[in-house]
């Protein structure tokens, strides 16, 4: 008997000629078992890449599972990735290299179990990639455990009594799920169990790869594939098993093909030029003023706690004070209370304005409190340092402070804002009052800063807020000097 | 100097833009969400990628992909999200992929709360993910440093082909300060030797599989060598009022800001208090801390917002020559300057 000599005329250029990454001596053949479908699918892909002359531009994402070593074979860029995450990795690879053809190659455990969300979301975003989903109804690499696509009653090493749908659920039909989404352009299920179906798979592989080359978006090719080792069968019965058992559960179909009607995805070119970066970040509009500090100011440093109801402009009062302080060349910090409190009820923030470096940003022992409502007065009055300044909103607070060692500034803050016609300007009434109490800021300079404090707002808004600053400032000057 | 008032979280995004970061992949979580929000606002202005991932796990794997393609790439999160990212971080370290991860620590364990804490220290520094690896960890304590150290993080990530953490807490992330914006980087490093660009010359393999035990051990030893170089070359500390200090405090992030205030109060009371602030947590300032034992100090006090995670490393560095005391707060509480000074007085009789 003459032994047939194995002759390989030529591998498709999509394959590496010698599988250099593969350990061991057998660098000319795959690690897949005899009768396995992976080798067939690999070859269909490799041929298509050659035929379309895109081997150079292709990047293959190898998953976890039997195809974890797909990178042994494809003469492309290769990334091996964590279990289930191939679509997430393929997403950023595709975004980083918009002209490349990104292939996410996954098995059923990887794609439909641990990576179930990742595949749905990549499909839903319509990422420009092709996903080859090898469905063999079992975990091959780990030795034959149940997959999400394992059939009803099918015995695996983790369903030794057969898959019980009452406890293990039903086989997941992934194409049907993907087809519920709007974005995918091509969704198809084929099989590798005989030559006619291999030919159909070949056509689907080529169509999907062309879609990706043409930047049409998300193409999904589910391929029913033999796993004789996992199924504990010979190769031929395995092919028959697909026909008799898998196809009834996973019907072969083109679920969607809208690639013809879909335009190519365009991705922007990143701006990296430093001058352009500075222009976009508006470097020229950055604060560069160093306003003259008032040497006779009553305060040379302020740690102020501003508190009230949410919606009373607490945070914006603090940010405005910090911004003005910065324009005077002070070191400034602003810290919000960002707990669940911010969802309503009370809000407070800490602002520090001082010449030297700021330590803690929370004002635990403030020398000023601005209390916009009664609970805030009661809470924060207690933590003021002796001799500290207490500004409080008499429009909403009808009690007197209990401490007698403070400088108190009862001001109808909300009332002043309402008189100006807009309650929201109470923040700037506060800023005006702060300027007068501390002597640190000049109201005229604050007016000059309006364009930067109210960037993008109308002239009317600025005018109104200018008035608010004046009113707050004058109220203090007239009543407490 | 030109400056802008901004939150620490925003400053990290500015730092990333200035460092030439091309992509942000992230998932919202308090108190780190402003990082994703700022990135969603800024990155598209530069034609760079912002993508809100479906999960923390997806986000770090997107980072893996972008890094594998040679991009400078950023993600940000907080404790629970960092836990989820850990597998991906191990893959990044195992595949020698440079990337930057910002962790704005919140209260834990579990869902904990959204207050500031430093309880992710061990998770970030001691692995968290599986296998033998380390990440470089930078610990900013101001909005300015959130910008500057994020830029440095990208530089170190590329220099060592390693993930780098910017590790801080909710206070530093949420606080607004004036930030002087540095000049953008003019040149990005060449990664053509290993990155995958989808071109004929870049048919590289990004991978962390070494089936052969000897091969993997060899790779582990190479990583160990790399970490030793990082330990030797990249330690950064800030010393504050150390010249005449008789008692030294050690803290990073928010605690170091409080320590600055505590030192001011202590000095007014005639207590010679100083501070050694680790700016890099890995590499940990082992030599700098070890040398404290030879200064004849009255005491060393580690101040942290976690359950003694930092003080363990301090004491390891001290090597038994001295033992650092611990002052810690947790649960979202920040120590006050006054309570620290009072504890110093009590502990050391000053």
Instruction: Say if A268 is an interface residue toward chain B (CB within 8 Å).
Output: yes
What's the confidence (pLDDT) of residue A3?
Answer: 61
pLDDT category of residue A2 using cuts at 50, 70 and 90: low
pLDDT digits (tens, 9 = 90+) for A38-87: 999 999 999 999 999 999 999 999 999 999 999 999 999 999 999 999 99
Residue A114 DSSP label: I
Measured between alpha carbons, how far is residue A373 from residues A133, A390, A412, A476, B171 in Å?
A: 62, 12, 11, 19, 25
Q: Please, are residues B79 and B105 in contact by the beta-carbon 8 Å criterion?
A: yes
Parallel, antiparallel or unpaired: strands A129-135 and A218-224: parallel
Count of positions (residues) in chain A:
481
Contacts of A72 in chain B (CB under 8 A): none
Identify which of B57, B32, B56, B177 has the alpha carbon closest to the alpha carbon of residue B114: B32
pLDDT digits (tens, 9 = 90+) for B88-127: 999 999 999 999 999 999 999 999 999 999 999 999 999 7
Four-way CATH pick for A38-261: 3.40.50.1970, 3.40.50.970, 3.30.365.10, 3.40.50.180: 3.40.50.970
Nearest to A71 among B61, B62, B205 (CB): B205
Rg over alpha carbons for chain A, rounded to the nearest Å, is 35
Q: Please, are residues B118 and B306 in contact by the beta-carbon 8 Å criterion?
A: yes
What's the confidence (pLDDT) of residue A339?
Answer: 56
* Span A166-189, average pLDDT: 98
Rounded Cα distance, B344 and B274, in Å: 12
Measured between alpha carbons, how far is residue A169 from residues A114, A151, A152, A249, B131 in Å?
A: 15, 10, 9, 14, 34
Rounded Cα distance, B247 and B106, in Å: 29
Measured between alpha carbons, how far is residue B329 from residues B40, B77, B137, B348 in Å?
A: 34, 22, 22, 20
A241-261 burial, b at 16+ Cβ within 10 Å, e below that, comes to bbeebbbeebebeebbbebee
Rounded Cα distance, A469 and B334, in Å: 34
**Cβ neighbour number for residue A481 with a 10 Å cutoff:** 6
Q: Are B259 and A359 inside 8 Å of each other by CB?
A: yes
- Angstroms from B77 CA to nearest CA on chain A: 16
**Domain regions of chain A by residue span:** 38-261, 283-480
Q: Residue B1 pLDDT more than 70?
A: no
Identify which of B271, B239, B244 has the alpha carbon closest to the alpha carbon of residue B340: B271
Contacts of A270 in chain B (CB under 8 A): 22, 46-49
Chain A residue whose CA is closest to B41: A281
Q: Which residues contact B203 (CB under 8 A, 6 or more apart)?
A: A56, A75, A76, A77, A78, B196
Rounded Cα distance, B99 and B277, in Å: 25
Count of positions (residues) in chain B:
350
The CATH fold assigned to B3-233 is Rossmann fold (3.40.50)
Return the axis-axis angle of helices A426-438 and A459-480, rounded to nearest 10°.
40
**Cβ neighbour number for residue B126 with a 10 Å cutoff:** 12
Q: Which residues contact A25 (CB under 8 A, 6 or more apart)?
A: none
What's the confidence (pLDDT) of residue B207?
Answer: 97
What's the confidence (pLDDT) of residue B245?
Answer: 98
Rounded Cα distance, B239 and B247, in Å: 13
* Span B326-339, average pLDDT: 96
Contacts of B69 in chain A (CB under 8 A): 92-93, 96-97
Instruction: Say if A169 is an interface residue toward chain B (CB within 8 Å).
Output: no
Output phi, psi for A307, to 5 deg. -145, 150
Which tokens sit at A165? Answer: 């749908």
**Cβ neighbour number for residue A285 with a 10 Å cutoff:** 12
Q: Residue A285 pLDDT more than 90?
A: no
Strands, E, within A66-178: which ranges? 77-80, 101-107, 129-135
ipTM of the complex: 0.97
Measured between alpha carbons, how far is residue B201 from residues A57, A93, A250 in Å?
A: 10, 16, 41
Nearest to A80 among B200, B207, B336 (CB): B207
pLDDT digits (tens, 9 = 90+) for A323-348: 999 999 999 999 998 655 455 567 99
Q: Please, are residues B137 and B82 in contact by the beta-carbon 8 Å criterion?
A: no
| H or E element, residue A464 | helix A459-480
Q: Are B204 and A359 inside 8 Å of each other by CB?
A: no
List the helix and strand counts (H, then E) for chain B: 12, 16
Which tokens sit at B305? Answer: 């917002």
A102: buried, middle or exposed (CB in 10 Å: 19+, 13-18, 0-12)? Answer: buried
User: What percent of chain A has a predicted confidence (pLDDT) above 70?
Assistant: 97
Asked if domains A38-261 and A283-480 share a fold, the reply is no
Q: Are A286 and B3 inside 8 Å of each other by CB?
A: yes
Rounded Cα distance, A209 and A103, in Å: 8
pLDDT category of residue A363 using cuts at 50, 70 and 90: very high
The arrangement of secondary structure in A283-480, i.e. its CATH architecture, is 3-Layer(aba) Sandwich (3.40)
* Span B202-231, average pLDDT: 97
Q: Are A335 and B260 inside 8 Å of each other by CB?
A: no
Cite the DSSP H helix spans in A151-259: 165-168, 174-178, 195-213, 228-231, 235-241, 247-249
Bridge partners of A299?
none
What's the confidence (pLDDT) of residue A345?
Answer: 67
Q: Are A271 and B48 inside 8 Å of each other by CB?
A: yes
Q: What is the overall mean pLDDT for chain A?
A: 95
**Domain regions of chain B by residue span:** 3-233, 237-348
What's the confidence (pLDDT) of residue A289?
Answer: 79
DSSP A48-85: HHHHTT-STTEEEEE-SSGGGGGGGTBSSEEEE--TT-
Rounded Cα distance, A131 and A353, in Å: 57
Return the axis-axis angle of helices A314-327 and A426-438, rounded to nearest 10°.
50
Nearest to B62 among A71, A92, A268 (CB): A92
Which tokens sit at B149? Answer: 């150290």
pLDDT digits (tens, 9 = 90+) for B245-289: 999 999 999 999 999 999 999 999 999 999 999 999 999 999 999
pLDDT digits (tens, 9 = 90+) for A413-436: 999 999 999 999 999 999 999 999
- Angstroms from B320 CA to nearest CA on chain A: 31
Asked if domains B3-233 and B237-348 share a fold, the reply is yes
pLDDT digits (tens, 9 = 90+) for B7-62: 999 999 999 999 999 999 999 999 999 999 999 999 999 999 999 999 999 999 99
Identify which of B242, B272, B233 has the alpha carbon closest to the alpha carbon of residue B155: B233
DSSP B302-329: EEESSSSHHHHHHHHHHTTSS--EEEE-
- Angstroms from B49 CA to nearest CA on chain A: 7
Bridge partners of A257?
A186
Sign for the CA dihedral angle at A48, A54, A55, A58 comes to: negative
SS3 label, residue A14: coil
Contacts of B73 in chain A (CB under 8 A): 92
Say yes or no: domain B237-348 is CATH 3.40.50.920: yes
Query: In chain A, what is the straight-line distance between the N-terminal and C-terminal CA atoms, in Å?
Result: 118
Parallel, antiparallel or unpaired: strands B73-77 and B237-240: unpaired
- Angstroms from B114 CA to nearest CA on chain A: 7
What's the confidence (pLDDT) of residue A343?
Answer: 53
Identify which of A154, A70, A73 has the alpha carbon closest to the alpha carbon of residue A110: A70
């Amino acid at each position: 008997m003459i032994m047939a000599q194995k002759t390989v005329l030529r591998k498709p250029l999509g394959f590496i000629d010698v599988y250099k990454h593969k350990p061991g001596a057998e660098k000319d053949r795959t690690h897949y078992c005899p009768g396995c479908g992976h080798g067939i699918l690999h070859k269909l892909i490799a041929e298509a890449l050659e035929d379309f002359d895109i081997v150079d531009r292709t990047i293959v994402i190898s998953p976890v599972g039997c195809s974890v070593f797909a990178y042994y074979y494809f003469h492309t860029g290769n990334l091996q990735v964590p279990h289930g995450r191939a679509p997430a990795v393929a997403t950023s690879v595709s975004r980083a290299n918009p002209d490349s053809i990104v292939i996410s190659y996954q098995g059923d455990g990887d794609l439909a179990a641990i990576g179930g969300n990742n595949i749905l979301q990549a499909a839903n975003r319509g990422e420009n990639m092709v996903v080859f989903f090898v469905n063999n109804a079992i975990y091959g690499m780990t030795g034959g455990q149940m997959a999400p696509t394992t059939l009803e009653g099918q015995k695996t090493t983790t369903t030794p009594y057969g898959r019980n749908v009452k406890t293990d659920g039903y086989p997941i039909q992934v194409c049907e799920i993907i087809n519920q989404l709007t974005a995918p352009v091509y969704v198809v299920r084929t099989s590798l169990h005989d030559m006619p179906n291999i030919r159909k798979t070949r056509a689907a592989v080529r169509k999907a790869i062309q879609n990706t080359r043409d930047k049409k978006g998300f193409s999904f090719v589910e391929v029913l594939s033999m796993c004789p080792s996992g199924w504990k069968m010979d190769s031929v019965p395995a092919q028959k098993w697909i026909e008799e058992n898998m196809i009834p559960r996973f019907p072969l179909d083109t679920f969607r093909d809208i690639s013809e009607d879909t335009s190519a995805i365009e991705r922007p070119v990143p701006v990296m030029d430093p001058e352009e970066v500075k222009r976009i970040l508006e470097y020229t509009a950055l604060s560069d003023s160093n306003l003259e500090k008032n040497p006779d100011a009553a305060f040379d440093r302020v740690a102020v706690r501003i508190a009230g109801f949410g919606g009373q402009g607490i945070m914006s009062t603090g940010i405005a004070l910090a911004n003005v302080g910065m324009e005077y060349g002070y070191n400034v910090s602003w810290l919000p209370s960002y707990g669940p409190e911010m969802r309503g009820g009370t809000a407070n923030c800490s602002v520090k304005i001082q010449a030297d470096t700021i330590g803690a940003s929370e004002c635990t022992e403030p020398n000023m409190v601005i209390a916009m409502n009664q609970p805030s007065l009661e809470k924060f009055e207690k933590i003021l340092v002796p001799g500290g300044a207490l500004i409080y909103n008499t429009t909403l607070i009808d009690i007197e402070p209990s401490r007698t060692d403070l400088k108190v500034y009862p001001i109808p803050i909300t009332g002043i804002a309402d008189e100006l016609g807009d309650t929201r300007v109470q923040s700037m009434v506060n800023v005006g009052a702060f300027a007068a109490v501390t002597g640190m800021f000049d109201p005229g300079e604050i007016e000059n800063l309006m364009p930067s404090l109210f960037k993008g707002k109308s002239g009317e808004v600025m005018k109104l807020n200018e008035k608010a600053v004046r009113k707050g400032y004058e109220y203090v000057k007239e009543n407490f000097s | 100097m030109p400056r802008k008032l901004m939150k620490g979280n925003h400053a990290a995004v500015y730092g990333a833009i200035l460092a030439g970061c091309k992509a942000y992949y992230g998932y919202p979580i308090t108190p780190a969400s402003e990082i994703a929000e700022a990135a969603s606002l800024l990155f598209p202005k530069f034609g760079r990628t912002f993508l809100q991932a479906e999960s923390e796990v997806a986000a770090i794997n997107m980072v893996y992909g972008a890094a594998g393609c040679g991009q400078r790439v950023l993600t940000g999160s907080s404790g629970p999200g960092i836990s989820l990212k850990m597998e991906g971080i191990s893959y990044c370290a195992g595949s020698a992929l440079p990337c930057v991860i910002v962790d704005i620590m919140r209260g834990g364990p579990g869902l904990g709360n959204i207050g500031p804490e430093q309880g992710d220290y061990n998770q970030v520094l001691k692995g968290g993910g599986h296998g033998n690896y380390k990440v470089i960890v930078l610990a900013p304590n101001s909005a300015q440093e959130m910008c500057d150290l994020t830029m440095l993080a990208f530089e170190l990530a590329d220099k060592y082909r390693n993930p780098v953490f910017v590790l801080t807490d909710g206070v530093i992330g949420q606080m607004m300060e004036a930030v002087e914006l540095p000049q953008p980087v003019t040149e990005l490093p060449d990664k053509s030797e290993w990155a995958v660009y989808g071109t004929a010359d870049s048919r590289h393999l990004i991978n962390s599989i070494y089936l052969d035990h000897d091969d993997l051990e060899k790779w582990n030893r190479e990583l160990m060598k790399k970490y030793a170089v990082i330990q030797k070359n990249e330690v950064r500390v800030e010393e504050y009022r150390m010249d005449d200090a008789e008692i030294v405090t050690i803290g990073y992030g928010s605690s170091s800001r409080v320590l600055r205030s505590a030192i001011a109060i202590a000095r007014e009371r005639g207590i010679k208090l100083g501070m050694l602030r680790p700016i890099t947590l890995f590499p940990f300032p082992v030599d700098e801390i070890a040398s404290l034992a030879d200064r004849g100090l009255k005491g060393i006090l580690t101040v942290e917002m976690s359950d003694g995670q930092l003080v363990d490393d301090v004491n390891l560095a001290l090597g038994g020559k001295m033992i650092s005391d611990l002052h810690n707060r947790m649960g979202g509480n920040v120590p006050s300057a006054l309570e620290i000074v009072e504890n110093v007085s009590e502990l050391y009789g000053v």
